[in-house]
Amino acid sequence: MKASINTNVGTHALTITIQGLNWDDIEQASFYEGEVQVRELLKLIGQELTVHLLRSKAVDAPTVKWEGETYYRKETSLGHYQTLYGEVVLSRHLYQSSAGGATLCPLERNCQLSFGAATPLLTEVVSFKLASAPAGEVAQDLAKSHGVALSATYLHHLAQQVGQLAVEKHETWHLEAAAAPASVAIIATGVDGTTMPVVGEAYKEAMCGTIAVYDQAGERLHTEYLGTMPEAGKATFAQRFTTRVAWVKELYPDALHVCLGDGAPWNWDFFATHYPEAIWVLDFYHAATHLHTAAEAIFGTGTEAEAYYER
């Protein structure tokens, strides 16, 4: 099958023509097989529309200026780009300075193709999925839901590029959390960490913090998560977390502040330094685990220890 697009600026009409399609055969097949064919049609149309968008951002000028330097147009060459609808291929111009060296592709810069061959929408979708599942499962999901075949290795590289950009930009980005209702009665802040093996550096602790707001009835209204990669001293995490907590507390100055943590000494030193006025809560699981260990140390394993523990 092949798709072609025609636009009419005057009537704001867009016509999509599908060649090589036998719709009667699709209707005669099972409904599931028809659904699969519809998905393939939408994929084909998505590819063609994306190619049109890419071409609309192309540059054909003899020269372009970039960071004060003049670049000269080269012959067209094929560009291969990964989209949410599969790979698309189109001709575009590259540019190069008179001194040679690296080439410049205005089309890629204009289309925000900051992640190699991946379009921004594909990068966004992949990043969202990788936050909840490993690369192998995300690859299977993309193949099943979108009919797009991308390897786990490619997805790993894409995630690394996104992560690196976030590291470079986080100082200048000012992200606003979703607005919570005005009826916030409790601000609950929690911190935790887990040790991770770092190549050439033994184990270091990666940190995660949560800032949750609750109403008077104890219903959670919103939660924000902040994390940092392993770092000696956890200074980056402490700075980011305390800055954000201060912003939330300023929004709700009358809310009760509760700090949640496990028994790690760093957590309580952190709370004592930054939130001495808050209520501190040791999480139930860790407290209960230590109590169970104590019960068995006193009574041995058996019903007596269990009864003591439960009481």
pLDDT digits (tens, 9 = 90+) for 112-132: 887 778 999 999 999 999 988
Cβ neighbours, 10 Å, residue 107: 21
Instruction: Tell how strand 86-97 and strand 100-104 pair up.
Output: antiparallel
Residue 189: pLDDT band with limits 50, 70, 90: very high
Describe the crossing of helices 265-274 and 235-251 by its angle, rounded to 10 degrees.
Answer: 50
Report residue 175's pLDDT band, with 50, 70 and 90 as the boundaries. low
> What integer pLDDT is reported at residue 163 of this predicted model?
85
Share of residues in the chain with pLDDT > 70 (%): 96
Confidence of residue 183 (pLDDT cuts 50, 70, 90): confident
Q: Is the pLDDT of residue 181 over 70?
A: no
pLDDT for residue 169? 79
- The dihedral built from the CA positions of residue 68, 69, 73 and 74, taken in this order, carries a sign that is negative
| pLDDT confidence of residue 229 | 86
Within its chain, how far is the Cα of 310 from the centroid?
Answer: 42
Indicate the pairing of strand 202-214 with strand 86-97: unpaired
Tens digits of residue pLDDT in 62-111: 999 988 899 999 999 999 999 999 999 999 999 999 988 889 999 999 99
* Strand segments (E) across 9-139: 13-19, 63-66, 69-83, 86-97, 100-104
Phi first, then psi: give them for residue 65, nearest 5 degrees: -100, 135
Spatial distance between the Cα atoms of 89 and 301, rounded to a whole number of angstroms? 68
Report the C-alpha gap between 263 and 20 in whole angstroms. Answer: 67
What's the mean per-residue pLDDT of the chain? Answer: 91
Looking at residue 203, its pLDDT comes to 86
Is the pLDDT assigned to residue 281 strictly greater than 60? yes
pLDDT reported for residue 176: 64
244 pLDDT tier (thresholds 50, 70, 90):
very high
pLDDT at 177: 56
Quick check: 73 and 95 in contact, CB under 8 A? Answer: yes
pLDDT at residue 182 tops 80: no
Please give the model's pTM, rounded to 2 decimal places: 0.69
Give domain limits for the chain: 1-56, 63-173, 186-287
Determine the pLDDT at residue 18: 92
| CATH class of the structural domain 186-287 | alpha beta
Report the distance separating Cα 83 and Cα 89, nearest Å: 11
- The reported pLDDT for the residue numbered 202 is 85
pLDDT score at 40: 92
